[in-house]
Amino acid sequence: RAIVRDIDMLEEKNPSIKPKPTPEVDPTVFEKRFLKKIRELGEGHFGKVELCLYDPRGDRTGEQVAVKSLKPENREEQSTNLAREIDILKALYHENIVKYKGICQEEGGQAIKLIMEYVSLGSLKDYLPRHKKDTSLSTLLSYSTQICKGMDYLGSQNYIHRDLAARNVLVENERTVKIGDFGLTKSIKDNEGYYTVKDENDSPVFWYAPECLTHCKFYLASDVWSFGVTMYELITYCDSSKSPMTLFLSMIGRSHGQMTVIRLVKVLTEGRRLPRPEGCPEPVYELMRKCWEQLPERRITFKRLIEELTNMQQ
Ligand code: ADP
Ligand code: MG
């Protein structure tokens, strides 16, 4: 006791002998100089994703991470979107959602990068066409269930995804998929209008529910519609000759340019939908159709989808 008191007194008289707290190491801050690019993983509308080795010891023992940054031409206009994507992903914890690892900030702090876990088999859109043989219908239904579980969790956190598609679902291993792109995700609270369609070739409009196309309104039920389109992609093994874009364009006729969205709304309002893919059992197609009810309030929910999909796999 006396000794402790003596030390306390000594410290008061002479603050420099007080042990300094070790500097806080924030494991979510990645230093740019230790981040070594291995290869490109993919590109989307605004950003690109690279596989990097984070190797602070400099002896190649580091870990592989996926690093998302904005393409230089989008830096200015999209930086708040990437910052928002980071904030959203940071707060999400679910086995079917890609894991946030941290950020990397450049000197000055203008260009920020998102560091996430590396999901090694790439997106379903890359994976499925190359693994048709080893992917059974029941595996596709299991992937669908997992996507619904991730989406149900996202909805429970009051987020709408707005860009659910096979290109944004990542394959961790033969059994497990994760939702992997939250760039367009919005909190239900901030209800601003959004999104003009620049290039119809790679446009998400073919994944959009009618209310999104006509009023730029997004509900949880709008994500359900997109899930139906995503499920359609899964069942066709993401065959590009049967892709939603290819089929909708053949329904409405190509080369309408600016008119594409208007024509798309017209065929949807007439009740036309993507066809039942070859080899798709009727009950599975029925489930997709329940996602494509014209009125959002009549669509099936993610919870019901999970139940029905689970029953089908038994
Ligand atoms: P964007 O917002 O620009 O569409 P995405 O997040 O969808 O960017 O990433 C683009 C592509 O990069 C994906 O389609 C996928 O192929 C690849 N990718 C993205 N994140 C990862 C990851 N964590 N692990 C492996 N590949 C990824
Ligand atoms: Mg994407």
Give yes or no for residue 118 having a pLDDT over 80: yes
- Give the chain's length: 314
Positions annotated as catalytic residues are 163
How high is the ipTM of this complex? 0.97
Identity of the residue numbered 242 = K
Ligand 2 centroid vs 24 CA: distance in angstroms?
A: 34
Helix (H) or strand (E) holding 118: none
Q: pLDDT tens, 195-214?
A: 333 444 457 899 999 998 88
pTM: 0.88
Q: For residue 126, which atom of ligand 1 is closest to its CA?
A: 16
Identify the residues whose C-beta falls under 6 Å from ligand 1: 41-47, 49, 66, 68, 98, 116-119, 122-123, 126, 167-168, 170, 180-181, 183
* Per-residue pLDDT, 198: 41
Give yes or no for residue 34 having a pLDDT over 60: yes
* Per-residue pLDDT, 80: 83
* Per-residue pLDDT, 62: 95
> In the chain, pLDDT over 90 holds for what percent of residues?
66
Choosing from 52, 98, 123, 130 the residue with most ligand 1 atoms within 8 A of its CB, the one to mutate for a pocket test is: 123
Tell me which residue has its CA closest to atom 23 in ligand 1: 118
Ligand 1 centroid vs 86 CA: distance in angstroms?
A: 14
Give yes or no for residue 113 having a pLDDT over 60: yes
Instruction: Place 192 in a pLDDT band, splitting at 50, 70 and 90.
Output: very low
Choosing from 38, 49, 115, 185 the residue with most ligand 1 atoms within 8 A of its CB, the one to mutate for a pocket test is: 49
Rounded Cα–Cα distance for residues 252 and 267 (Å): 7
- The average pLDDT across 93-112 equals 88
Choosing from 181, 182, 195, 202 the residue with most ligand 1 atoms within 8 A of its CB, the one to mutate for a pocket test is: 181
Q: Is the dihedral of CA 146, 265, 276, 244 positive or negative?
A: negative
Nearest to 289 by CA among 218, 206, 225: 225
- The burial of 41, by beta-carbon neighbours within 10 Å (0-12 exposed, 13-18 middle, 19 or more buried), is given as buried
Tell me which residue has its CA closest to atom 14 in ligand 1: 167
* Tokens of residue 174, six digits: 């033969």
Q: Are 187 and 180 in contact (CB under 8 A)?
A: no
Rounded Cα–Cα distance for residues 260 and 246 (Å): 13
Q: For residue 43, which atom of ligand 1 is closest to its CA?
A: 10
Rounded Cα–Cα distance for residues 29 and 26 (Å): 6
* Tokens of residue 138, six digits: 């029941």
- Mean residue pLDDT across the chain: 88
DSSP 108: G
Q: Are 139 and 127 in contact (CB under 8 A)?
A: no
Strands 47-54 and 100-105: unpaired
Rounded Cα–Cα distance for residues 125 and 115 (Å): 22
Give yes or no for residue 220 having a pLDDT over 80: yes
Instruction: Place 3 in a pLDDT band, splitting at 50, 70 and 90.
Output: low
Distance of CA 34 to the CA centre of its chain: 26
Rounded Cα–Cα distance for residues 258 and 117 (Å): 39
Q: pLDDT tens, 282-291?
A: 999 999 999 9
Ligand 1 centroid vs 150 CA: distance in angstroms?
A: 17
Number of Cβ within 10 Å of residue 243's Cβ equals 19
Give yes or no for residue 248 having a pLDDT over 80: yes
